[in-house]
Amino acid sequence: MAKMTCAEAIREALRQEMERDDRVFIIGEDVGQFGGCFGVTGNLFSQYGEERVRDTPISETAIVGAAVGAAAVGMRPVAELMFNDFLTVAMDQVVNQAAKMRYMFGGKATVPMTLRMPYGGGISAAAQHSQSLEAWMTHVPGVKVVMPSTPEDYAGLLIASIRDENPVMFFENKVLYGMEGEVPEKIEPIPFGKAKIHREGDDVTVVALGGMVPQALSAAEVLAGEGISVEVLDPRTLVPLDVEAIKTSVAKTNRLVVVHEAVKRSGFGAEIAAIVADECFDDLDAPIKRVGALNVPIPFNPILEQYVVPNADRIAKVIKEIL
């Protein structure tokens, strides 16, 4: 095992897959000599050259469109958008082309494309560079949605994404890029649809997405000092979703809180809450609670941003409301 940041784990996963399969290439703005907007692609340009680490113009439409076309003819592109907010510019390529091509060609065409996208607040990047748009993608049949929270999971799930025969939306939390953790020297793919229990507990289940996992763990640690036992579950992938792991946890704790950085209204937490209400109603001893960002654009001002985005204190407060 080696200690890496999440950003380093992503880069190492890319390197290992590019070494293993010469169909894998990277495409995006400033991914080459500059090393990526957040430094994630680093020195891959010097290792693999401009043919496999391709800088593009500032055009998300072109980036994703080129990736879709390359994937359809047998390549395995890893496209990077600087911010998930700019997914809006490439929605036709993702929703009407990548997501539907395999179905509309009767399985004769596949689109093994990975779209890497930094998301979330925490760095005062303001309203157009700080959104969390994963719920949009979960509503589109034909794409898979991945949202890791640890260096090991970033690495293993990225390799699984690159090897998958379908388009994968790979969401990367900007604040977590610098978080360190252990990563195997030879990274193995982590299967989609397998949740991880980061902390076991008996009183309440907290299902936390992506960047909210560390916040949920911090809340659980504080509440443990008050005699409250919190189970923290990380789905890791939203499509496919490990429904059985969530149901098993709720059957044990009889309470559920869902936490995500996206705005609370119509966030993916509503989908998880609906599933549990439908399939685990008799296990519940309290109403299901959701924690998400306030329904406002993310402010540039760091104090206001901290107020809008969920944190450990807000999670702990909501947990106490149902005990």
Reading the block at residue 147, the tokens are: 């949202």
222-239 pLDDT, tens digit per residue, is: 999 999 999 999 999 999
The single residue of 129, 139, 198, 260 carrying the catalytic annotation is 129
130-158 pLDDT, tens digit per residue, is: 999 999 999 999 999 999 999 999 999 99
CA 26 – CA 34 distance, rounded (Å): 13
Task: Show Cβ contacts of residue 281 under 8 Å, excluding neighbours closer than 6 positions.
Answer: none
pLDDT more than 70, % of the chain = 100
H helix or E strand, kind and range, residue 53: strand 53-55
Residue 186, number of CB atoms within 10 A of its CB: 6
Q: Domain extents for the chain?
A: 2-183, 196-321
The DSSP string of 78-119 is: EEE-SSGGGGGGGHIIIIIIIHHHHHHTTTS-----EEEEEE
CA 178 centroid distance within chain? 16
Catalytic residue check, 198 = no
CA dihedral for 141, 265, 213, 118, sign (positive or negative): positive
Say if pTM beats, i.e. exceeds, 0.75: yes
Average pLDDT (287-308) is 97
CATH code at 196-321 = 3.40.50.920
For residue 296, pLDDT beyond 90: yes
CA 151 – CA 176 distance, rounded (Å): 9
261-279 pLDDT, tens digit per residue, is: 999 999 999 999 999 999 9
Same fold, 2-183 and 196-321: yes
CA 46 – CA 91 distance, rounded (Å): 32
CA 139 centroid distance within chain? 15
Highest CATH level, class, for 2-183? alpha beta
With b for 16 or more beta-carbon neighbours within 10 A and e for fewer, the 10-49 pattern comes to bbbbbbbbbeeeebbbbbbbbbbeebbbbebbbebbeebe
